[in-house]
Structure 1
Amino acid sequence: MERGFDGNGMDAAEGRMRGSNQSGLRAHNKRAVLSLIRRNGRLAKAEIARRTGLSPQTASVIMRALEAEELVLRDQPQRGRVGQPSIPMRLNPDGAFALGLKIGRRSVDLVLMDFTGRIRGHERIAYPFPRLQQVIDFVAEAEPKLRGLLPARLGRRITGLGVALPYELWSWADEIGAPMGIMDEWRDLDVRSALAAVTDLTVNVANDATAACAAENVFGSTQSADFVYFFVGAFIGGGIVMNGDLVSGRLGNAGAVGSMPIPREEGGYAQLINFASLHLLEKMYEAEGGDALALWRGKVSWESFGPLLERWLDRAAYGLAHAIVSASSIYDFESAVIDGRFPANVRSQLVERTAAAIEKINRQGLAPVTLRAGTIGTDAREIGSASLPFFAHYLLDHQVLFTEAD
């Protein structure tokens, strides 16, 4: 029997696969091959066989099947010193598509993403706070628009709908100015069922910051296998990657960095969300007579914040610095990645100021941590949500947890 690659270093032959188990092993090996190609950009059949432990013959059979399904494409032949040139294979951007829905505290976004992680279409609206019916109406209107961007032949390749939303969306309602009790409609909501009523797609759900971290790990170019991740949105969230895998945690809430206690300069403690969240910049802007929602509607340039932005950057960097040092005392992360819903130049300033703030903290006994700017940017949560159907149907990543509609 063929020696299969099962992702855990086990010899598939030892399992004495028969019947449907053999079919399951073949499907698993196809996922493993697609995942290898996705991680490496392109790979030749011989290299795929070497890395998976599959025989060259079986690797060729799998590659022919994936090519017939139009999930992979042949790249330009590479000539070596002797023999026939090798032909690397790469993912076909048009091989599969997914919709990704990000439900945030200030806006909701729906994207159409191809198999290589490129966004083909994007719809969004901003609001003072999320209302369930408004989100459902938005999806009902935006989904046909995005489907219409593809010809009918490719439209049938939309794999599913991934949804990313904050853990306990109804929490911190006071901080975003929502009327008392109005966000309780999210408390016991079955998000999958609610969205299944307006779409015929399979629905997968994940925490929004976890999805952003997954996007960085899967589609980004951080080039680190161990990092703690911070995404600055209306509130700050994060994730943890160890040995190249996204760690979800015992209850699926690993990387809840927004709740980390940070010392106040005036004494006492507050959570990280009170230092490094955009709702603080909103409040500062409102205090000077500005329209906070203009930030989410894209109707105000970041340069217009002037000294407000400088003060916010200093406060956010202070909080992030303490959070990163605290995280590095628990696990020796190689790097800390900072991203968020802001322009690249603002992200760069935040990384620089955080690095400077870390230098002021006593780190005796701790391994140094390299600070890196996130490589996905504003759309990290949307890309992460759209990747969920791909993992459900085509790729291997046992550490990305999602739930699927029945």
Structure 2
Amino acid sequence: MRAHNERLVLTLLRRHGPMAKADIARSTGLSAQTVSVIMRALEGDGLLERGDPIRGKVGQPSVPMALAAGGAYFLGLKIGRRSVELVLTDFKGQVLDRATRVHAYPEPKATVKFAVSQIEALLADLPDDQRTRVAGLGIAMPFFLWNWAAKLNVAPERMEGWRDFDIRAEIAAAFDFPVFLQNDASAACGAELVFGPQDGARDFLYFYVGYFIGGGLALDGKLFTGRGNAAALGPLPVPDGKGGTCQLIDLASLGVLEATLLSSGFETSSMWINTEDWRVDEAMLEDWLNSAADALAYAVVSASAVLDVEAVRIDGWLPDPAREALVSKTQAALARNDTTGLTLPRIEAGHVGSDARTLGGASLPLSHRFLIE
């Protein structure tokens, strides 16, 4: 019960920011004495820190308590179709350091080698007394990677090694902290829940636009994964613009934009290093945004016939202006669809941005150790 109550307090402070003990007692229903005991223990463990006293009210000044940035650290590893990235975050979710490698396609052994060497390098930069506060690593990666060889234009045998490769176990063998694994788009949706606004929609459908588009589903403020891969939105059927249908992944993925750029002689590796230095043809980007928005709108209509959610959030490995344009264009395209009999969700941008998958990975040990649903 004490462990649950400690998680409850930490979850409350993560959602609402610094709070005084009296406010925490009112919000949780715990007695003032119980809250005082919990807060002293968490402060003694270095997980909480005191703020400046708030004066001006009757009685003793209240002292807000907040999460201590250095209370714990978390590692997040994103394995993508065109890049692999590792981040180290503090207890507040701030990225302290990162390492990135662009590849033509992901290979199991090369990915493990990168992860182990870079984790060791990132941890070496932490003071000795802080390394023991690393609570774990979360891996965010596409499931069934071996099935995507054709769409990656890679020979199937080069991806076959992923079929029986347990990357979680391989990396965990090198370290003494726990290692977790989750689908990359579901992890990104989890980051939206943990690090996004806490006063918004509790039920939302989530699209993450990466090399391939994927998604996640939040119900009542919790990530819903079903048997492990729920809301894998990429395979949703959408019109192909030629009188037939294709998958959403074939129109709304960044791999489609990259293929168009490559066919016209443009260099594209900069797309996968960061989202602040994209050097892409504006006309081609605009064409892709229009096509992706039409496909996304159709997918939203289809999903709305099954799910009654408040919002659809769109995020991805995109520069902020491109993400905002995609949201706006999707909203406009939605109005062009037949939505008779449907209650449509509002369309809005995700709040975590391009780091959603890596932060989603980092949120796995954070949630496992310190939060309640």
What TM-score, normalized to structure 2?
0.96
The residue that corresponds to 1:255 in the other structure is 231
The residue that corresponds to 1:117 in the other structure is 93
1:286 and 1:191 map into 2 onto residues whose CA distance is 31
Contact 2:108 2:167 in 1 (8 A): no
1:204 and 1:74 map into 2 onto residues whose CA distance is 32
Select which of 205, 208, 211 maps to 1:228.
Answer: 205
The Cα offsets for residues 120-177 of structure 1, whole Å up to 9 and x where unpaired, read as 0000101010011111111122112211332111122111111111121222211112
The Cα offsets for residues 200-232 of structure 1, whole Å up to 9 and x where unpaired, read as 321111111111001111101372212110000
1:301 and 1:92 map into 2 onto residues whose CA distance is 33
The residue that corresponds to 2:307 in the other structure is 331
Q: What one-letter code is carried by the residue in structure 2 that aligns with 1:38?
A: R
Contact 2:248 2:295 in 1 (8 A): yes
Q: Does 2:244 match 1:268?
A: yes
Structure 2 counterpart SS, 1:181 = helix
1:255 and 1:87 map into 2 onto residues whose CA distance is 43
- Superposition pairs of residues 75-94 of structure 1, within 5 angstroms: 75-79=51-55, 81-94=57-70
- Superposition pairs of residues 182-221 of structure 1, within 5 angstroms: 182-221=158-197
The residue that corresponds to 1:33 in the other structure is 9
Q: Does 2:223 match 1:246?
A: yes
The residue that corresponds to 1:159 in the other structure is 135
Structure 1 counterpart SS, 2:147 = coil
The Cα offsets for residues 13-41 of structure 1, whole Å up to 9 and x where unpaired, read as xxxxxxxxxxxx11111111111111111
The residue that corresponds to 1:96 in the other structure is 72
- Superposed displacement of residue 342, structure 1: 1.1
- Superposed displacement of residue 299, structure 1: 10
Contact 1:97 1:159 in 2 (8 A): yes
Structure 1 counterpart SS, 2:111 = helix
The residue that corresponds to 2:114 in the other structure is 138
Contact 2:79 2:85 in 1 (8 A): yes
1:346 and 1:106 map into 2 onto residues whose CA distance is 19
1:143 and 1:209 map into 2 onto residues whose CA distance is 22
1:67 and 1:28 map into 2 onto residues whose CA distance is 16
The Cα offsets for residues 103-129 of structure 1, whole Å up to 9 and x where unpaired, read as 111111110000111000000101010
Change over 3 Å in CA distance of 1:355–1:28 after alignment to 2: same
- Superposed displacement of residue 368, structure 1: 3.2
Structure 2 counterpart SS, 1:94 = helix
The residue that corresponds to 1:379 in the other structure is 355
1:391 and 1:103 map into 2 onto residues whose CA distance is 20
What TM-score, normalized to structure 1?
0.88
- Superposition pairs of residues 33-52 of structure 1, within 5 angstroms: 33-52=9-28
Q: What one-letter code is carried by the residue in structure 2 that aligns with 1:296?
A: W
2:279 and 2:88 map into 1 onto residues whose CA distance is 30
Structure 2 counterpart SS, 1:159 = strand
Tell which deviates more after alignment, 220-229 or 371-380: 220-229
1:235 and 1:26 map into 2 onto residues whose CA distance is 43
- Superposed displacement of residue 320, structure 1: 0.6
Contact 2:108 2:165 in 1 (8 A): no
Change over 3 Å in CA distance of 1:128–1:96 after alignment to 2: same
Q: What one-letter code is carried by the residue in structure 2 that aligns with 1:228?
A: L
Computed over aligned residues only, the root mean square deviation of the Cα atoms, in angstroms, reads 1.6
Tell which deviates more after alignment, 143-152 or 205-214: 143-152
The residue that corresponds to 1:57 in the other structure is 33
2:169 and 2:277 map into 1 onto residues whose CA distance is 38
Change over 3 Å in CA distance of 1:299–1:230 after alignment to 2: closer
Unpaired runs of 5+ residues, structure 2, are none
The residue that corresponds to 2:343 in the other structure is 367
Contact 1:211 1:385 in 2 (8 A): yes
Q: What one-letter code is carried by the residue in structure 2 that aligns with 1:131?
A: E
2:86 and 2:285 map into 1 onto residues whose CA distance is 28
Contact 1:72 1:91 in 2 (8 A): yes
Contact 1:231 1:238 in 2 (8 A): yes
Contact 1:93 1:115 in 2 (8 A): yes
2:147 and 2:353 map into 1 onto residues whose CA distance is 25
1:140 and 1:229 map into 2 onto residues whose CA distance is 31
